[in-house]
Amino acid sequence: MKRTLITGAAGFLGSHLCDRFIAEGHEVFAMDNLITGDLKNIEHLFPLENFTFYNHDVTNFVHVPGKLDYILHFASPASPIDYLKIPIQTLKVGALGTHNLLGLAKEKGARFMIASTSEIYGDPLVHPQTEEYYGNVNTIGPRGVYDEAKRFQESITMAYHRFHGLDTRIVRIFNTYGPRMRLNDGRVIPAFMGQALRGEDLTVFGDGSQTRSFCYVDDEIEGIYRLLMSDYTHPVNIGNPNEITIKDFAEEIIKLTGTDQKIIYKPLPKDDPMQRQPDITKAKEILGWEPKVGREEGMRKTFEYFKGLSKEDLEKTEHRDFTTHNKK
């Protein structure tokens, strides 16, 4: 039986990865310090014999007994609200955490994958973004703590690959959505859905002409799995290139949720990228992967999930207001 360590396992993507690797017959070691994650996302796996959970902060020394075949390092605050609130932890998990896990992979001879992000492209000057684009990142801006942690993560992973011959994979994940996203993580989809469910108007930052492209979680997990199992060691974009303006998207959400809310506009946060769209040529050619779930279907499934949450959870939703953070 293959033995796989997944960090950030109680989070959105980590928990879906746990499900996938269990379904593939692996023994899964799930690690998380629950700083932004929730045990509810993985409690259904607790009774399984081939599932073990470690409540551990990966910025401290990491040990797992016995052999390991794969390590997937997904632990990191991942939404602007989170990494603006806990900037030092964000830098540490990308830097110290990645170093600790690379050391573990070297000791075990395990294949190592990091969850990188489209944020390494910053506010891109090239559209769509290919893996060869180096990015346009403000190192000292509020988002720099996340963007630079992820860029460092890629560099140290390649250094271990070149210097120690470690078998490594780098996935550059673009906006992903689906069940188990946190309502209060400040990302656009949970924010809109929370507002629609509470009967509030939908907040659009800027004039809403900025674009995003959203990938449904099942597609994302399939792409990640295929990349891990491939022999390709350079970064690969995994995301959905189907682009939409935030204003049009807000209108889609109003239609989907059957509410008659209005859209209200607030100032655009600092360094918020105007356009994000993955070039997925590499993923298509190397992995034979492309997204299959359309936005309408994905949003419907996601809305069903949010509708099932308690009223108490709904009240906890945080608005994506960065103005106070930006003043600091």
Ligand X SMILES: NC(=O)c1ccc[n+]([C@@H]2O[C@H](COP(=O)([O-])OP(=O)(O)OC[C@H]3O[C@@H](n4cnc5c(N)ncnc54)[C@H](O)[C@@H]3O)[C@@H](O)[C@H]2O)c1
Residues forming the site for ligand X (CB under 6 A): 7-8, 10-14, 31-37, 57-59, 74-78, 93, 97, 115, 117, 173, 175-176
Nearer to ligand X among residue 130 and residue 259 (C-beta): 130
Nearest residue to 17 (alpha-carbon basis) of 71, 90, 89: 71
Kindly state the smallest distance separating residue 188's Cβ from ligand X, in Å: 10
Cα gap 48→37, rounded to integer Å:
20
Least distance in angstroms from the C-beta of 22 to ligand X = 17
**DSSP string covering 66-135, please?**
S--SEEEE--S--SHHHHHHSHHHHHHIIIIIHHHHHHHHHHHT-EEEEEEEGGGGBS-SSSSBPTT---
Residue 83 CB, shortest distance to ligand X, in Å, is 9
**CA–CA gap between residue 202 and residue 251 (Å, rounded):** 9
Cβ closest to ligand X, residue 195 vs residue 237: 237
Residue with tokens 């190592």: 112
Is 232 a known active-site residue? no
Closest approach of ligand X to the CB of residue 146, in Å? 7
27/32 with CB nearer ligand X: 32
Select 37 or 194, whichever has its Cβ closest to ligand X. Answer: 37
CA atoms of 251 and 272, how far apart (whole Å)? 21
What whole-number distance in Å separates Cα of residue 284 and Cα of residue 245?
Answer: 25
CA distances from 6 to 50, 55, 68 (A): 13, 12, 11
Instruction: Please tell me which residue in 70, 121, 146, 160 is annotated as part of the active site.
Output: 146
List the catalytic residues.
Answer: 146
